[in-house]
Structure 1
């Protein structure tokens, strides 16, 4: 994760352009460095980023859905292995969702709990942000975590009972959608809530064309993954991705009104919200 003291002010340059203006190594190097940064920031995999600047950060946030799809595929392997071992759908889903949490160090879930505590406090922006900074989890955070994890496992388990292949496709689509929500939260006109931290470092780094391209890629991958369960389910997976993004947009609007911008916790909360909504839609389609 980028260090807080290296973050620039929000609303800066997009992919391929560092804070000073020009790219340091060209678009290809920026892309590769951004991909490594995305892996190191969004997963528990120890990936060393050769450079940490806003140019690389823009690519990292733009490529976040690719990392999400890889995480979903890894969790799908756990799910498939559990089903083949004879475990029922719900228990297989618990193991798959647990694998996702392990692969991300629980950072997105932690962000969800922190944002829930901040928004649930009813305090003004500064007070809510102060609550989000704390390392402990309050009652709003606990309740939100329990509900979200129950929804994710129950939805995924229901799909697995219908078709393990459909459940694997749903995992890939939902995980990619969750990270796509992060991509859109890093587009211009979405400010940072603080002058430092991850939110300030990545705010405004993804241009709209980059977010649009990522959206098209996620919709395509979701539909292709869903083909494992038929054409109708492929369409449902694409619709689930759209629904997940819409749910994240509603939460982002709420967070911006209450805190004035994004933080690292906000990004994590958006990811889990979009993932959950996408799984719920695919569960309904599979049923």
Structure 2
């Protein structure tokens, strides 16, 4: 395993686009609180079937214009045509956006697909039409994509995205450090050598976490579930959140010590839990110091 470099770890935050004025207010407050940590970028998700396309674009452009933090839109294969994709990417370039998170995307609830079947097709499209003008992040799955036929098939698909032109990858969230170790060993075996950033989900709402984990195939270890259920029965949210904070802080420390290039936090448009994790890891001070050095 690599040792942590002397350079400050990369830090990024993910948001979903607000759907109404109340959510927009929460999004802006969260965005601004986390922007103070001088992250490398902030990403914004893209709804199933492209359902949030305009809201994603607006949120991305607001980040880019109002915070000074680079923004990274999620770009999905679903419910698009190539002219629409090019129009969107041209608008991003015009606004100074040069990082993309390229995904297949969630299929619409009624079924159907987009102009591309897989993220690799969209990666190739971006490289064919835009060369190296965009830095491309793709997704990967330490515990296997829920639709993959096998772990090896999933790894081969990941390798294909890298060979198509991906610059880096963000993992689906996970809670098992051993799953990360195995995945990194498997990537080395497959000669996958791009930076792979762990995606981290704070533990704040157990019912929501169970629902998300079931949908995305992330394993929620029994020892975590049992402790959280006990505090839920006692309506002890303070202990639940403190436990979740300790578990995720320890996981992040181990990941960074093992050589992870940084941390990508799934914020769910809330700042408090992510800020506490960054503070526990010393990332707040490191990022603020790095920003001061860059400005001097």
Same fold (TM over 0.5): no
- Name which structure has the greater RCO, CA cutoff 8 Å, separation 6+: 1
- Shorter-chain TM-score tier: under 0.3
Counting strand residues as a fraction of each chain, which structure ranks higher?
2
